[in-house]
Amino acid sequence: MRVLVVGASGYNGSRIAAHLREQGHWVRGFVRDPARAPAGLDHVVVGDVATGVGLSEALTSIDVAYYFVHSLDSTDQDDRDLTAARHFAHAANSAALPRGVFFSTLPAPNGAPAPRYQRNRLAVEQELLTVLGMIVVRAGMVLGDQSRGLRPYLQLIRRAPLIPMGPWRRHRMAVVDSATTTACLVHAGTTTEQIGRTVDIPASGEPTHEQLVHVIMDALNVHRPIVRVPWSTPTLDAFLASRFTDDSFHFSRHLASINRFDYVVDSTRTKPFAHITPLPLQAALKMAVDNHPTDQNSR
């Protein structure tokens, strides 16, 4: 197949591109900075999805396009992400793209008011789903050596003398190892089967946030006292997290806002990936922790 990876220089994009090349597919990368394009691509198109420049060229003669565009650290992320999705959807429809894959997060439970971060993701999903062949692949926290969701937990445990956790500590979060995530994304884009418009990657586990902290501490062999705080707000949690991690207050608030609900997979949506078995939770975390960069500021 002829595959386009939009955002090929990012963590997910580079991983997917490498695995597709290993399977014998022809892979074109779409990047803003050619110096950051991963090695081994068959072709590189330089452009900017935020403006639409280069998308028409990138989508020429493509069988499937992977879309990895996300401005988590931008204060104007909603406008940027939605504008980028509109540019891509317009270009993809103009090119009659047969199939697309968008990697997204699990949504808030039915009936729950979506946090701002989730509203952003859902708005982008709806825009991309105007492309007839688009498939939205959702997952919880990915446990990998460059996981943005896992990193704050690791840094808090390594740096903070204690771990304050509000009532959100009781909420569950689906987590999955990075190898399973990659396998499911590759399958979604390359299978000849019709797998549906929205699918969920199966989870390695669905622990509460408190349980997850305990498992991470075991994997790190670093144990801190957990202080169960009777109340908290996303703003307060973000302030505390940003003091002990390398993440900005803006990004920390995104994470804090989605901790207010359970995020679990829908088993009916995991059926297309029934042949893929995730690593167990402890094994997945051990692998992620062992491969994660060490923290020079740990205490």
- DSSP of 241-283: HHHHSSS-HHHHHHHHHHTTS-B---GGGSGGGTT--PPPHHH
Q: How confident is the model at residue 124 (pLDDT cuts 50, 70, 90)?
A: very high
Q: How confident is the model at residue 114 (pLDDT cuts 50, 70, 90)?
A: confident
The amino acid occupying position 42 is D
Q: Looking at the chain, how many residues does it have?
A: 299
Q: Is the pLDDT of residue 298 over 50?
A: no
Give, rounded to a whole angstrom, the gap between the first and last alpha carbons of the chain: 49
Q: How confident is the model at residue 104 (pLDDT cuts 50, 70, 90)?
A: very high
Q: How confident is the model at residue 77 (pLDDT cuts 50, 70, 90)?
A: low
Distance CA 197, CA 6 (A): 19
Distance CA 256, CA 251 (A): 9
Q: H or E element: which one contains 34? A: none
Taking a C-beta distance cutoff of 8 angstroms, is the pair 145, 187 a contact? Answer: no
Distance CA 60, CA 28 (A): 10
User: What is the pLDDT, as a whole number, of residue 119?
Assistant: 80
User: What is the pLDDT, as a whole number, of residue 295?
Assistant: 59
**Residue of 184 and 151 predicted with greater confidence:** 184
Distance CA 186, CA 191 (A): 8
Q: pLDDT tens for residues 16-40?
A: 999 999 999 999 999 999 999 999 9
Q: What percent of the chain has pLDDT over 90?
A: 71
Q: pLDDT tens for residues 38-61?
A: 999 999 999 999 999 999 999 999
Q: How confident is the model at residue 71 (pLDDT cuts 50, 70, 90)?
A: low
Average pLDDT of the chain is: 91
Distance CA 63, CA 3 (A): 6
Taking a C-beta distance cutoff of 8 angstroms, is the pair 30, 100 a contact? Answer: no
Distance CA 177, CA 2 (A): 27
Q: pLDDT tens for residues 158-196?
A: 999 999 999 999 999 999 999 999 999 999 999 999 899
Taking a C-beta distance cutoff of 8 angstroms, is the pair 62, 28 a contact? Answer: yes
Distance CA 1, CA 188 (A): 13
Alpha helix (H) ranges present in 98-248? 116-128, 151-159, 178-190, 209-220, 234-244
Q: What is the mean pLDDT of residues 95-113?
A: 89
**Scanning the structure block, which residue is given the tokens 């439970």?**
109
User: What is the pLDDT, as a whole number, of residue 107?
Assistant: 86
